[in-house]
Amino acid sequence: MVDLAGKAQASYVHATAIVIGEAGVLIRGPSGAGKSSLAFALIATAEAAGSFARLVGDDRVGVFIQGGRLVAQGHPSILGKLERRSQGIIEVPFLAQAVLRIAICLHCAKEGPARYPDPDAGHILISGTKLPVLRLRQDAATPAHASTILADLRLRRILL
């Protein structure tokens, strides 16, 4: 979508987005799947390892194409705000936009990723753009698994 001035307009999706280094990561999944908790843990783990990491947006993330790249942006009314279960809404350092390089999709344990996925299952289509995807059961995406997730070779090739 483009506005009257020719600037790309974002369409908002239910997701959380972070940036690690220069790579935007879109975390998708159903309500209560742990998107915000995983984002917080990934940011903390990346920073502890000496990498730059910030929240881009939580709960509602705008996605749009700019210069042939898929970009995520936080919703203006909740920039820098992240929901922490049992703590409420907290303010965290943020980056307003990031170029998305990968998506993490969380699934309920009973409907997790296929044991032998289709070869095309390594990507998802967002706003007409193919994006590599790491599919996880939501019970395998707990904050305690953040370092394991960051060490996944598929992410290392994209993030480093």
Average pLDDT of the segment spanning 87-116: 80
Rounded-to-integer distance, Cα 122 and Cα 32, Å: 24
pLDDT of amino acid 139: 73
CB atoms within 10 A of CB 43: 23
Which domains, ranges and CATH numbers included, belong to the chain?
Answer: 11-159 (3.40.50.300)
pLDDT of amino acid 24: 95
Rounded-to-integer distance, Cα 132 and Cα 68, Å: 16
CB–CB of 33/111 below 8 Å? Answer: no
DSSP string, 116-148: S--GGGGEEEETTEEEEEEEEEGGG-SGGGHHH
Rounded-to-integer distance, Cα 9 and Cα 66, Å: 10
Tell me: the pLDDT tens digits for 124-145? 888 888 898 888 887 766 777 7
Tell me: the pLDDT tens digits for 67-90? 999 999 999 999 999 888 777 888
